[in-house]
Amino acid sequence: MICNRSTAIIVAAVLALVIAPAAAAEPAMTRLDPAAAMATAERALGRNLGNYTLIDTKGTPLSLQEFRGKPLLISLVYSTCSSACPATTQHLIDVVTEADRVFGLDRFAVLTVGFDARNDTVPRMAQFAAVQGIKFANWWVASGDAATIEALLNDLGFSYRAVAGGFDHPTQTTIIDRDLKIYRHVYGEDFPVPMLMEPLKDAIYGITTPFSLRGIIDRIKFICTTYDPGARRYRIDFGLVFGAVIAAFSLLAMAGLILREWIRSTKARAV
């Protein structure tokens, strides 16, 4: 009996020595390297999204091609997340509210995607949307099968690791341009509003503006819409508007003078 008990103690001690280092090493093996995750995401900039079809909270197929023609914000979450995902979503709701006031909901779209394909089912994503209070007309919440989600995450350069109780992942909000090309990533749960609004403004108004009334108005808004840190909101800087109008009239007046002098010199040479 004494021998058996001693043997048991020795075996337990040996197992403890073997298992403890392995257990201690496990978090290091599954831990996500933030620098590597960000580098992977940044390499995705300029990449076009594939033609993937997700499933929305009503069980209806949702093709990414439906978002072509206007900028799209993509937020990646998992439905059982209790900290980072809800916090990021709540902050994104605040930013979208401001973007609605400045641009209008018809100028961009938002898509929250559950990246845990095994557990982010349609009912769970619907519950996530309800709990978070996502009620914007231009905001979709969706999930997908494992192959589709894996391909989409690869396009977006999104990294994650399974850990005890959930996933280790970056809080990454991605701006997709109107041609479904990855334009910018914004990181963090509580990023400064201009960090997302400025590239979104670029994507909405565009670097090149079509020659039309709306295009001219968009260009003026692009130049004159500024962030007021004191009020923590965007506004139209009318000083810039008046300056732009005066500059435009000055250019027109200068062009008129040049044209008049050219006509006068042409007539003089003809005589």
Contacts of 265 (CB under 8 A, 6+ apart): none
Q: Above 60 in pLDDT, residue 240?
A: no
Looking at residue 258, its pLDDT comes to 82
DSSP result, 209-244: --SSHHHHHHHHHHHHEEEETTTTEEEE-HHHHHHH
Tally of domains within the chain? 3
- Whether this prediction's pTM lies above 0.75 is answered by no
| Ranges 10-19, 67-76, 160-169, 251-260: which has the least confidence | 10-19
- Where is mean pLDDT largest: 16-25, 90-99, 195-204? 90-99
**How many whole angstroms separate alpha carbon 94 and alpha carbon 195?**
13
The predicted pLDDT at position 142 comes to: 98
Dihedral angle over CA of 135, 62, 189, 203, nearest 10:
-100
Residue (of 95, 89, 88) closest to 190 by Cα position: 88
Residue 91 lies in a domain: yes
pLDDT band at residue 2 under the 50/70/90 scheme: very low
Pair (193, 257) in one structural domain: no
| Residue 12 domain flag | yes
Tell me, what's the pLDDT at 213? Answer: 52
Q: What region does 83 belong to: left with phi over 0, alpha with psi -120 to 50, or beta?
A: alpha
Q: Both 118 and 178 in a single domain?
A: yes
Residue 179 domain-assigned?
yes
Residues 180 and 250 in one domain: no
For residues 10 and 51, state if they share a domain.
no
Same domain for 125 and 177, yes or no, is yes
- Determine the average pLDDT of the residues in 30-51: 91
194-214 average pLDDT score: 75
What's the pLDDT at 221? 57
pLDDT for the residue numbered 107:
93
Give residue 9's domain range.
1-30
What pLDDT does residue 54 have?
Answer: 98
Give the number of other Cβ atoms within 10 Å of residue 210's Cβ: 11
Q: Is residue 229 part of a domain?
A: no
In terms of domains, do 39 and 12 share one? no
* CATH code at position 85: 3.40.30.10
Q: Round the average pLDDT of the chain to a whole number and report it.
A: 80
222 belongs to a structural domain: no
Specify the pLDDT at position 96: 96
138 and 241, same domain (yes or no): no
Instruction: State whether 128 and 71 are in the same domain.
Output: yes
Judgement on whether residues 191 and 261 belong to the same structural domain of the protein: no
Residues 93, 71: one domain?
Answer: yes
Judgement on whether residues 190 and 137 belong to the same structural domain of the protein: yes
124 lies in a domain?
yes
Give the whole-angstrom CA distance, residue 194 versus residue 177: 17
CA atoms lying within 13 Å on the CB side of residue 183: 22
Task: Say what the pLDDT of residue 51 is.
Answer: 92
**pLDDT tens per residue, range 176-200:** 999 999 999 999 999 989 899 989 9
CB 114 within 8 A of CB 77: yes
Q: What is the pLDDT of residues 117-146, one digit of tens each?
A: 999 999 999 999 999 999 999 999 999 999
Is the distance from CB of 185 to CB of 41 less than 8 angstroms?
A: yes
| pLDDT at residue 5, as a whole number | 42
Same domain, 22 and 40: no
pLDDT of residue 262: 74
Residue 113 lies in a domain: yes
| Domain-located, residue 121 | yes
Tell me, what's the pLDDT at 31?
Answer: 77
